[in-house]
Structure 1
């Protein structure tokens, strides 16, 4: 028995499809931008593998001295801060009164050890509201195996 297919009747399914396409496009856009930086700094890692395995809202690239060099569009959407405002600052500008010392110590230790780590931290948006952020931070090494940058892949978590 052959089933006759008609027009899509559920707009929710179509809308979900469009959302997934949009996310995929944004990931490809981030991969393209980071690939250019990878070539420039001669990093030794696979960007696509790193990004395709994680759900994320924002990406922050810093120098070894933690100066922000690049953020993706998701950073602005998540924090409310423009790229122009963030560039040249340290990510600590997002921290505030409810950011715990334990979270900061974990980040400091992870950066000093120059190995990948995950942490959660309370940060603050431009409008002053706080958000719980899960960080996956990776040291980026050049072909000489020297850490030259750090990349943070960030996901906003619900505060409940």
Structure 2
């Protein structure tokens, strides 16, 4: 009876330190090793390509040379606490290259120990995920912003409006909502073309952005409709003063594509808690007031006032 042939597996040879070093030197991911005190003692070629620093420039330095300021002190405190306990740390970091550009990396830091189990070094491996991070940021931006003007879109505006109204209710404050529509925009668009019309919308967005406070939210709802959210106020005059300012900045001519354009705006204003406590309904009230301003000739603002039927 024939038996199965037996094969003996050759004994594996331990990996020579020189071979290991060469392998780390050539791998695609950036690798750097520090001593226990955090001084860089070794880097591979990929680290130099990613960071822009040569080996000679970083040996003896701290990894803080890569610090972008995007991570908090607590972030690094937790990182060091983990690795000093002998545990592996993993996280996403935003670091700064030698040329000042930022890059995003998926980083793993592993403690290296001697025969007695004492930590002697730390080895950090960085996988560059900058393209993926940038694409994610772009998708997030497009989800909440108007593509043409870069302003917030309706969805983002309503979420911020709801937050502002909630805070106002708790802190006994007011929220102002301004709904703005350009006068004569359809005529300009039809006469000069959509390219000039789009350029006008971008220019209007810039003027609106420059006229409001830092924390106010400016959004484009589509077409030539814009909305401004003014939160944390105690006096309605703040909103009325802003409305006058917006009319004034938009009254100055625009020079676009060789054309001198004059346009104005009609603005409707609704105030919480004077109006509805529902974000969509408050927005509708501001819209209604805007149409009244346009009906009265445009280039003016109108404060929403409930009709008699709404007061019962």
Written as runs of structure 1 = structure 2, the 5 A alignment for 1:140-159 is: 140-158=112-130, 159=133
- Alignment match, 2:48: 76
1:110, distance to aligned residue in structure 2 (A):
1.8
CA distance 1:156–1:102, shift in 2 (3 Å): farther
Alignment of 1:112 onto 2:84? yes
Secondary structure of the structure 2 residue equivalent to 1:115:
coil
1:120, distance to aligned residue in structure 2 (A):
1.2
Separation in structure 1 between the aligned mates of residue 20 and residue 64 of structure 2, nearest angstrom: 24
- Alignment match, 2:186: none
CA distance 1:155–1:103, shift in 2 (3 Å): farther
- Alignment match, 2:97: 125
Secondary structure of the structure 2 residue equivalent to 1:110:
helix
After superposition, the C-alpha distances for 1:61-98 in whole angstroms (9 at most, x for unaligned) are 11000100000000101110000001000101100232
1:33, distance to aligned residue in structure 2 (A):
5.2
Secondary structure of the structure 1 residue equivalent to 2:70:
coil
**RMSD (CA atoms):** 2.4
Q: Which moved more, 1:96-105 or 1:123-132?
A: 96-105
Q: Which moved more, 1:94-103 or 1:117-126?
A: 94-103
TM-score calculated relative to the size of structure 1:
0.63
How many pairs align? 114
TM-score calculated relative to the size of structure 2:
0.34
Secondary structure of the structure 1 residue equivalent to 2:91:
strand
Question: Any conservation in 2 of the 1:57–1:155 contact (CA below 8 Å)?
Answer: yes
Separation in structure 2 between the aligned mates of residue 31 and residue 115 of structure 1, nearest angstrom: 26
Separation in structure 1 between the aligned mates of residue 92 and residue 81 of structure 2, nearest angstrom: 14
Secondary structure of the structure 1 residue equivalent to 2:68:
coil
- Alignment match, 1:34: 21
Structure having the higher Rg: 2
Q: Which runs of 5+ in 2 are unaligned?
A: 1-16, 135-312
